[in-house]
Amino acid sequence: MKETPTPLLLIELLADGNIHSGEQLGESLGMTRAGINKHIQTLRSWGIDVQTVAGKGYQLDAPMNLLNVDSVNKNIKGEPASVIPVIDSTNQYLIQRISELKSGDVCIAEYQSAGRGRRGRQWISPFGRNLYLSMYWKLDQGPAAAIGLSLVVGVIMAEVLQKLGADGVKVKWPNDLYLNDKKLSGILVELTGKTGDVAHIVTGIGINIAMSKNQNEAINQQWINLEQVGIKIDRNELACEITNALREAFVQFEKQGLSVFIERWKRLDNFMDRRVKLIIGEKEIFGIAKGINDQGALLLEQDGKIIPYIGGEISLRSAS
């Protein structure tokens, strides 16, 4: 059995949100106060807000709901998920192991040092405050059959979050979740495979659960987390529920494609019947969002006509 690294042991002691003196922590972990301070710096580099309380010790800005591999897997249907506390990227971890994976294999992390978003953007991934989860799937029909998959993932995530009490969560084309018109979650689908060959798909998700305001400067768009609006969801339960629902949805998608999910998308569409701006490269297109078609294209109403668009990103800002 692998030994737990000291910074992770330190987090377990601090997770209750109480003040812990350097002396107490040192006694618990068998090291000096100077040694504790060194590991505190590591925690801060992972995005954990550890406060120094003068003359008393250390305290987290809020209690932390840590992931526990047994709790995550308690109700998982099928193969257990891998829980790796500190990782570069959950997607990259699976991509590097594709040859040994089976469809439905899942990796979950507490912290990503190199989390990835769409278009090569960084996904800010502080320790223990959000959910970072990736799943592998082999699609025998090939890459072309994967069209619209990110939309399916969005539907599933929104439905799971609503089931667990986050009623206002909606989907945003092509692969985000929104709450109160702010970004709550992102989806990154990475695909390898040639036409006519099988497609290897790694789908990564990040959900803002309790991310603190000190991450604001690193994020270039409006975002929200669940705790900001008083929604408390156990991360272990959420990881389990999403894993089960995604596995089930991928089987259905493989058999029936995107079409069976379109009505579910419409019910959850944050932008339905709203004026939007679609940005494709340098081009800006204005219209009224009318959902998606069977290929997952965005439908925009312009001058009384409904026109499908495959690529780009939409926004409510500056729409006319």
**Does 138 qualify as catalytic in the annotation?**
no
Beta bridge partners, 122, equal 116
118 annotated as ligand-binding: yes
> Annotation-wise, does 183 bind a ligand?
yes
Here the tokens at position 123 are 């996904």
At a CB cut-off of 8 Å and minimum separation 6, what does 141 contact? 199, 254
Residue 89 marked ligand-binding: yes
For residue 145, give both structure tokens.
């059959």
Query: Which of 255, 283, 305, 317 is flagged as catalytic?
Result: 317
For residues 176 and 188, is the Cβ–Cβ distance under 8 A?
Answer: no
Residue 112 labelled as part of a binding site: yes
* 255 noted as active-site residue: no
Catalytic residue among 138, 183, 266, 277: 183
Q: How far apart are CA 87 and CA 149, in angstroms?
A: 25
For the chain, count helices (H), then strands (E): 8, 14
In the set 33, 118, 182, 277, the catalytic residue is 118
Cβ contact 53:79 at 8 Å = no
Map tokens 């959420």 to a residue. Answer: 238
d(CA 7, CA 9): 5
Please tell me whether 117 is known to bind a ligand.
yes
Query: Cβ(235)–Cβ(252) under 8 Å?
Result: no
- CA 320 – CA 316 distance, rounded (Å): 9
Query: Is 221 known as a binding-site position?
Result: no
Angle at 294 between CA 293 and CA 296, to 5 degrees: 65
Annotation-wise, does 90 bind a ligand? yes
Nearest Cα to 307, choosing from 319, 283, 289? 289
| 77 counts as catalytic | no
Binding residue per annotation — 148? no
Taking the C-alpha atoms of residue 204 and residue 209, their distance in angstroms, rounded to an integer, is: 16
Q: Which residues are annotated as a binding site?
A: 89-91, 112, 116-118, 183
Q: Which residues are annotated as a binding site for biotin?
A: 89-91, 112, 116-118, 183
Question: Which residues are part of the catalytic machinery?
Answer: 118, 183, 317
